[in-house]
Amino acid sequence: MSKRYRAKRGQLVPIPGQPNQYVPDEGDGIPVSETLPYWARLIADGDLVEVPATKTEEPKPERNK
């Protein structure tokens, strides 16, 4: 499962294969595979910042009546 990242504020990070598209620097970011060299370098350089996972509401267990 890939984590979500956004660009460091003010940083323009191109998305490969998508001309004139950039990783957003705010919001939920985009899913990034940390094993690909392009993304791994940007993460290591600090150009991409991991977006904290949001808590998703888990379904409550049904009660037996």
Q: What is the pLDDT of residues 45-55, one digit of tens each?
A: 999 999 987 75
Considering the entire predicted model, what is its pTM? 0.75
pLDDT of residue 2: 75
pLDDT of residue 65: 56
Contacts of 33 (CB under 8 A, 6+ apart): 2, 39
Say which amino acid occupies 13.
V
Would you say residue 26 has pLDDT above 90? yes
Would you say residue 63 has pLDDT above 90? no
Q: Domain ranges for the chain, please list them.
A: 3-50
Mean pLDDT, the chain, integer = 87
Only one residue has tokens 């409550």, namely 60
